[in-house]
Amino acid sequence: MTLAETLLKQLENSALSRDERAQIQCRIAADLEHKGEYESAREVLAELWQGVGERPTLEGLSELTAAEVLLRVGSLSGLLLGAGDDEPLFSVGDGG
């Protein structure tokens, strides 16, 4: 069983807090990202992030977890854009 598969099993636990779920999702996404499976990594984060050009949902997350989500989203956005997705990245100062 791979790391991603093991962690996906953990997500089935209904007792996990939103923060704990986000941490696990980020770990899975990082594992998939390192394997070059960028679209699968994006899908794992779908509960938090709708994709390139969209802001992730950070409400209810600790600062540390929110930072990890932003790191994963930024990294995947760049990789997905480099893989042929030509939608613009969101800008921190765009007000949306």
pLDDT value for 91 = 47
Q: Map out the domains of the chain as residue ranges.
A: 18-82
Check: CB of residue 20 under 8 Å from CB of residue 10.
no
Distance CA 46, CA 41 (A): 9
Question: For the residues of 33-93, what is the DSSP string, one character each?
Answer: HHTT-HHHHHHHTTTT--STTS----TT--HHHHHHHHHHHHHHHHHHHHTT--PPPP-TT
Q: What is the pLDDT of residue 17?
A: 96
Over the stretch 5-50, which tens digit does the pLDDT of each residue have?
Answer: 888 899 899 999 999 999 999 999 999 999 999 999 999 999 999 9
pLDDT at 35: 92
Highest mean pLDDT: which range of 2-11, 29-38, 73-82, 86-95: 29-38
Cβ-based neighbours of 82, under 8 Å, separated by 6 or more = none
Which one, of 31, 61, 62, lies nearest residue 47 by Cα? 61
Task: Say whether pLDDT at 96 is over 70.
Answer: no
Give, rounded to a whole angstrom, the gap between the first and last alpha carbons of the chain.
41
